[in-house]
Amino acid sequence: MNRNRSAVWGGLGVFAVLVALAFVSSSYHLFQLTMLVVYAVAVLGMVVLTGYNGQISLGQGAFFAIGSYVTAILMANYNWPYWATVPVAAAASALMGFLIGFPALRLGGLYLALTTFALAVAVPQVLKVDALSGLTGGVQGLTMDKAEAPFHLPLTGDQWIYLFTLIVGGLMFLLAWNLTRGRIGRAMMAVREQSTAAEAMGINLAGLKTRTFAVSAMLTGVAGALSSIAVQFVAPDSFNFFLSITLFVGLVVGGVDSIPGALFGGAFVEFLPNIANEISKAAPGAIYGAILIAFMFVMPRGVGGLLSRLARRARKPAVAAE
Amino acid sequence: MNGLLHQISSGIASGAIYASVSLALVMIYQATHHVNFAQGEMATLSTFVALTLIHAGVPFWAAFVITVVLSFGLGVAVERVLMRPVMNAPVLTSVGVFIGLLLVINALDGWIFGFTIKAFPSPFHSAHPLLGGLVSPHELGETGLTVVVLLLVWAFFRFTPLGLAMRAAAHNPVSARLCGVNVSRMLGLGWGLAAAIGAAAGIMVAPVVFLDPNMMSGILLYAFAGALLGGVDNPFGAVIGGFIVGVLENIFGAYIVGTELKLTVALIIIVAVLLVKPTGLFGRAVQVRV
Amino acid sequence: MPALLEARDLRAGYGPPDVLHGIDFTVEEGGVTALLGANGAGKTTTLRALCGMIRRSGRITLGGERIERAATEEIVRRGVGHVPDGRGTFLELSVEENLRLGAYTRRDRAGVAADMERMFGYFPRLQERLRQQAGTLSGGEQQMLAIARALLVKPRLLLLDEPSFGLAPLIVREIFHILRRINAEERTSILVVEQNASLALDLADHAFLLETGRIVVSGTASAIRQDETVRRSYLGY
Ligand SMILES: Nc1ncnc2c1ncn2[C@@H]1O[C@H](COP(=O)(O)OP(=O)(O)O)[C@@H](O)[C@H]1O
Ligand SMILES: [Mg+2]
């Protein structure tokens, strides 16, 4: 009870700070913040999958790509308003997650990792294919119009895009939090901890895992849609295998079972390349790799795990005092 | 007709490469239940080493042997330094470590040897068209050599006490130790062997696909497909699976999906195997480990 | 008789808590010692501790040499054959390969070949099934395979963990008969763990009884067999 309340206040506090940033940041920083939130939502999708279900996806970039392209295609080719594309992008990526998850999740943990690895490598090829270029723009990609603030709100486009991303992203965090807290969440945890026990409890393991994976794909797909709206451009090469790996590293850094940790994961994905690129062209890969290995050995529960340990330590004296 | 035969023969040639990498993956999976996602990158690194030796004037076959031996050492070192500490950790940890290794090696390759695509010499030449022009000298030589390597590996496991001990250590480590087998040394040997096989495959495929830091990423994917198709716990099946994937990839690429979508064929094979026959063609029942 | 194996203050366990709380016992050269006790008493744990398969402390000597820090494979090389709980068959390998693994540490080819023949003398059925996958053997045959595999180590000390477990009485009789012959003919000392106490006491010359990680009774087999109270309260017959 107590913990829930502090989580709600903490979440609201972070949200308020992020909203306030909309009014004090330059448009360059607003874009970076927007992408931070976008990647945080993408990583959140992986937290739901890995942290609460014990499954590993190495191809989350593929769902990001699907979300991005659905939004881009609807906006560029069919003149849909940006906001209306988000639910469609969510549904499309959830469906893809279901289709990939269904065969892989009947089996053990590594099968999903292998299948999604293959998906991540294959997707950029599909996006480039000539036969689909009428829809996808082929190698050139698609360009869209920039969203504007509604209701004559006194906001710049960048401010509005950031706030819109923040609102949708906030809803996604709320959704994930609710999901992992409720009955389904407990069932998901049971699956992670002890699959035989979960089965004995009457939980349909494969079905639950597949649905969880669909939710995970949906969250990452929504992130993709938001990124299209923010960038107003998509091209196949932005969705290569490296994107999936980057998101995976973000997941590990943020903490695989930490919902707030996803924000750190998002920040990591957004800001590390800037720093690393200044060192050398080969550096991002090497740094990502080294960080990944280091976290696995030293801090396998990531920044989120560290935070929750600190929070628990801070709470303990209070409990003792009661 | 000749076109189809040609596709099949070059499918077998690339299948030999996939079979080698599948075998390397399955050897490690069988012993540790971990998948080495960095297997392809390790092979690429080896191939760069071979090219450096050749450019330094070392004769091709000497460079080949030196590289294979060095790669064996690399495999042993990776097992010692990275694998052993995470042996009993959750799957996520080992996946994280191997993806990390993949990234580091890939970046190192680019940093040391450059990102430009490089030609790699083939040791196989012929003045006359072979088999009525059906195969190139390199395809024939590469397939032959790879098959010889696979046969040697098979004979090693089948007929030598060390090979037997390695199989025992993979199947039942506790009992193997009670027979006096040093299981952790066997794991190291297995990693060394897998890396050596990968190196041979890398050197054989480089003249065809050219060498760059990402040379093996597609090949690793086909090798996954081959391993799943054959059965992840069956080295023999993995080899057959690798050859089948090679042939399918070529035929699909030539007649159905086009070369643009060749990698998608691997994805389709993987999903189809998982849907239709998750144990693979030669595998035992899958242990469901969540 | 001199002691072949001596354990002093042996403590062992799987996690932090000890399962064995400091036990002392000896196995005499050429003798058969039975280790008895109810399910969960720590019999299997004792054998695992002797072979370095789990965390352990205390002092263990084999023929006067300390082995409590040695790795399992090293202990095997020094002459301990272990027929483990559950038999430890390499199910995917052939019977012949299982046997060859038993002799893995040995370099004397001729000696191995001769020992292999002796094993076929004890267990003719193994010879008949030499090329078969070991997983296809019956429980009794797998037990025989496990004993033969352990004997091919050429051990000075043979550890047996419940060789009668799950087998039909007739097979059990056959196996214990062979164990007696092995002890007599090969001069192999034996430490046998059994739940079936009367069976073990018939084979053994010494015995000790384990209860929740402590030795509560020890002595000669005949003394224990005749001790009415021990029989009633611990052995249940
Ligand atoms: N692998 C294990 N991990 C943890 N505890 C174990 C393990 N094996 C046995 N134990 C515990 O050690 C104690 C002794 O078990 P064991 O030696 O197998 O008994 P016995 O062989 O006499 O039936 C039991 O309490 C059992 O629960
Ligand atoms: Mg026992």
Summarised one tens digit per residue, pLDDT across range B156-198 is 988 999 999 999 998 899 999 999 999 999 999 999 999 999 9
Helical spans, DSSP H, in A152-282? 157-181, 183-193, 195-200, 205-231, 241-254, 261-277
Is the pLDDT at A27 greater than 80? The verdict is no
Summarised one tens digit per residue, pLDDT across range C91-135 is 989 999 999 999 999 989 999 999 999 999 999 999 999 999 999
In the prediction, which pLDDT does B197 show? 93
Phi, psi angles (nearest 5°) of residue C134:
-60, -30
**Closest CB from B175, B182, B183 relative to C88:** B175
Q: Decide whether any atom of ligand 1 lies within 6 Å of the C43 Cβ.
A: yes
Task: For residue C71, give the 3-state DSSP assignment.
Answer: coil
Mutate to test the pocket of ligand 1, among C18, C19, C51, C55 (most ligand atoms within 8 A of CB): C19
Q: How many CB pairs under 8 A join B and C?
A: 65
Q: Decide whether any atom of ligand 1 lies within 6 Å of the C229 Cβ.
A: no
Q: For tokens 């096989």, name the residue.
A: B197
Q: d(Cα C156, Cα A120) in Å, to the nearest integer?
A: 58
Mark yes or no for CB contact C51/B171 under 8 Å: no
**A9-45 as b/e, with b when 16 or more CB fall inside 10 Å?**
eebeeebeebeeebeebeeeebbbbbbbbbbbbbbbb
Which chain B residues are within 8 Å of A239, Cβ to Cβ?
none
A149: burial class by Cβ within 10 Å (0-12, 13-18, 19+)? middle
Q: Which residue has the higher pLDDT, A256 or B202?
A: B202
Q: d(Cα A304, Cα A307) in Å, to the nearest integer?
A: 5
Mark yes or no for CB contact A107/B278 under 8 Å: yes
- The pTM (predicted TM-score) of the whole model is 0.85
Q: d(Cα A53, Cα A198) in Å, to the nearest integer?
A: 12
Q: d(Cα A249, Cα A46) in Å, to the nearest integer?
A: 11
Please give, rounded to a whole number of angstroms, the shortest distance from the CA of A168 to a CA of chain B.
Answer: 29
**Confidence category of residue C44, pLDDT binned at 50, 70, 90:** very high
Summarised one tens digit per residue, pLDDT across range C151-171 is 999 999 999 999 998 888 999
**Confidence category of residue B242, pLDDT binned at 50, 70, 90:** very high
| C-beta pairs of A162-165 under 8 Å, 24+ apart in sequence | A162/A22, A162/A30, A162/A31, A162/A33, A162/A34, A162/A37, A163/A19, A163/A22, A164/A83, A164/A226, A164/A229, A165/A34, A165/A37, A165/A38, A165/A226, A165/A229, A165/A230
Dihedral (CA of B233, B235, B240, B243) sign: positive
In the prediction, which pLDDT does C9 show? 93
Beta strands A142-143 and A233-234 are antiparallel
Q: Which residue has the higher pLDDT, B94 or A279?
A: B94
> Percent of chain C having pLDDT more than 90?
68
Give the mean pLDDT of A116-120.
Answer: 87
Q: d(Cα B198, Cα B31) in Å, to the nearest integer?
A: 17
**Confidence category of residue A196, pLDDT binned at 50, 70, 90:** low
Phi, psi angles (nearest 5°) of residue B211:
-105, 125
Kindly state whether A122 is in contact with chain B, defined as any CB-CB distance less than 8 angstroms. yes
A265: burial class by Cβ within 10 Å (0-12, 13-18, 19+)? buried
Atom of ligand 1 nearest to the CA of C213: 14
> Pick from B26, B27, B74, B33: which is nearest to B50 by CA?
B74
- Ligand 2 centroid distance, CA of B182 (Å): 25
Output the six-digit token pair for B106: 């890939």
Most distant CA pair in chain C, distance? 51
Output the six-digit token pair for B142: 């590469």
In the prediction, which pLDDT does B289 show? 35
Report the residue of chain C nearest B176, measured CA to CA. C101
Kindly state whether B25 is in contact with chain A, defined as any CB-CB distance less than 8 angstroms. no
Report the residue of chain C nearest B183, measured CA to CA. C73
Summarised one tens digit per residue, pLDDT across range A35-84 is 888 899 989 988 888 877 778 888 899 999 999 999 988 888 888 887 88
Give the mean pLDDT of B244-270.
Answer: 83
Pick the range with the lowest mean pLDDT from A81-90, A308-317, B176-185, C40-49. A308-317
Which chain C residues are within 8 Å of B175, Cβ to Cβ?
84, 88-90, 101
Kindly state whether A58 is in contact with chain B, defined as any CB-CB distance less than 8 angstroms. yes
C90, B151 Cβ separation under 8 angstroms: no
Is the pLDDT at A109 greater than 70? The verdict is no
In the prediction, which pLDDT does C64 show? 87
In Å, what is the CA distance from A147 to each residue of A132, A215, A231? 26, 27, 10
CATH code assigned to C3-91+154-235: 3.40.50.300
Beta-carbon count within 10 A of C57 CB = 16
Ligand nearest the Cα of residue C37 is 1
The radius of gyration computed from the CA coordinates of chain B, to the nearest angstrom, equals: 19
Is the pLDDT at B290 greater than 60? The verdict is no
Summarised one tens digit per residue, pLDDT across range C19-37 is 999 999 999 999 999 999 8
Give the mean pLDDT of A277-298.
Answer: 78
In the prediction, which pLDDT does A154 show? 75
Is the pLDDT at B105 greater than 50? The verdict is yes
Beta-carbon count within 10 A of B258 CB = 14
Give the mean pLDDT of B218-231.
Answer: 90
Q: Which residue has the higher pLDDT, B9 or A93?
A: A93
- A143: β partners: A233
Q: Decide whether any atom of ligand 1 lies within 6 Å of the C44 Cβ.
A: yes
In the prediction, which pLDDT does A320 show? 46
In the prediction, which pLDDT does A184 show? 65
Task: For residue C39, give the 3-state DSSP assignment.
Answer: coil
Query: Residue C20: enclosing H or E segment and its boundaries?
Result: strand C20-28
Give the mean pLDDT of A163-180.
Answer: 83
Is the pLDDT at A7 greater than 80? The verdict is no
Give the mean pLDDT of B10-29.
Answer: 88
Query: Residue C65: enclosing H or E segment and its boundaries?
Result: strand C65-66
In the prediction, which pLDDT does A208 show? 77
Summarised one tens digit per residue, pLDDT across range A79-91 is 888 788 889 989 9
B19, B238 Cβ separation under 8 angstroms: yes
Task: Tell me the pLDDT of chain B averaged across its residues.
Answer: 87
In the prediction, which pLDDT does A141 show? 76
